[in-house]
Chains A and B, each alone.
Chain A
Amino acid sequence: MTRIAHSPHAHAPVSVGKVMATVMAALVPATLYGFWLYGWPAIFLWTVTVTTAVAAEALTVRLQEKPVRPTLMDGSAILTAWLLALSLPPFAAWWVGVVGALFAVVIAKQVFGGLGQNVFNPAMAARVMLLISFPVDMTMWTTPMPLTGGHAPGLMEGLAITFGGAHWDAMASASLLGHVKTEFTRGVDLLHSLPGYFAAQDSAIGSRAGSLGETSAGLLLAGGLFLIARRIITWHGPVAMLLGVAVPALIAHAVAPAHFLGVLPEILSGGLILGAFFIITDPVTSPNTNEGMFLFGLLCGLLTWTIRTFGGYPEGVAFAVMLMNSLTPIIDRYVKPRIYGRTRKGTALPVGKEA
């Protein structure tokens, strides 16, 4: 016999690929719903983004002379591109997806050393890069035009929108957060700008203007709960992030309803649900412990609310996540589990004291 194998001689039937696949499965309902809402352009954009990411991953891994197959099989590139695609405006041109995917995989991930080594969430890094570089293309929102409805662009028209740069008549619209921000700059307060624009049930089911896969809070929430049930993620991060947005929103709205959005529009708008359940729970860029995740999520939420409310951009999830990613090592340094028989500081428990 060759080398003696080290224990354990049994292993849980899990793998990185399976973890990624489960997360993708949790994204499927919201994605399909997004496809239905926004039609062919959304499907093309998603496909282009994912294909680019996989090709870029394969190329960079080959350039590093590492085995390509196992790296692609773990599915991390697909998931990154998927999350990025969900956060793009559904009618964005093909090159937005391509540039974003390239940036996410090559710059934000492989340059740092590949899977597990990146400091920033690749999808969010790409989104921020796109938002800063191409603000117009990244904020062209569309009123949902379900595939089965009469107004939806057909297959050829979809191709033209995604690949030909064609404009679609009915597309001009604004997301809720964008609308509020614009009205503010015109001096219109919330009491006048909001009525008729926000309806909680619309946000919950997603029939409103927004990113490809961020609009249906309900389906994303269901996917997140599925991940918690499958023990892929814990509740600490998502709950804390929602709290981080809801608590300041509640207080501010109670004080000045004309200036601050209420809890429901804050939580159901933009990329918060996607961010809370799918982005900040990215294992690579988030803290190790449950306690650390709670702190991380809470700060993500607070930052999101702060950027949304006081910042120049209407949406703040991506920026908040990026900022907090950079704090992850510090959180990990100070928030550690307590070791058996030791105090939090690491010294041995005193003898004779009840532990």
Chain B
Amino acid sequence: MPDRRETLTWLLRALALGAAPAAHIDSASARQACGGAPAQPDRLGAAWRGDRGYGRDPDLLHPQVTWALTLTAQQKTAIARLADVFLPEDGSSPAASAVGVPDFIDEWVSAPYPQQQQDRVVILEGLNALGCAAKEPLHTLDAVQAQNLVAGLHARAAEGKQPEARFFDRFRHICLIGYYTTPVGVAELGYVGYQPSPRFAGPPPEVLTRLGV
């Protein structure tokens, strides 16, 4: 696994300057293709390493994200393009970017906790690889280009190629959490609880019939 700072530096460079096209998008060749910029302090790395979590006694009635968000506008735009391919508008509910999934991913990958830090590496490494594969900087992709890029990513992930497979899995997973814990997503899944009631009625007759009980 590449050094975090290196990954971030490639990514910044890839997104800011536009990545060169590459025939292969595995990690090692991506490093070569993108020029392997020398590791140097960057504001992303500096920002999250110094941050702390919400602590063991946060105010539960007024939830707050206590860490600095670290993605750039271009990174978030790139994430929005990809997230909208994973969770598009489909006539039943809007696309991921319309319900704030890119902001959620920023919150997630900027968090100082181990799972999130691990995901940060996976997400940024994957974006880097995708950036190298794309003919245009990711944030400038249109919907069709993004669709094609994810199709290629899916093919590589299906073959178990890394880093695409783990990026596909974690990016999708974080998108799903971010999407389906919004009011829109909760309604979309058909969760209709949180209704204070003097008694619990149990499932309705039509459901019991479907279940055969």
Is the A/B pair a real complex? Answer: no
> Taking beta carbons and an 8 Å cutoff, which residues of A are in contact with B?
none
> Taking beta carbons and an 8 Å cutoff, which residues of B are in contact with A?
none
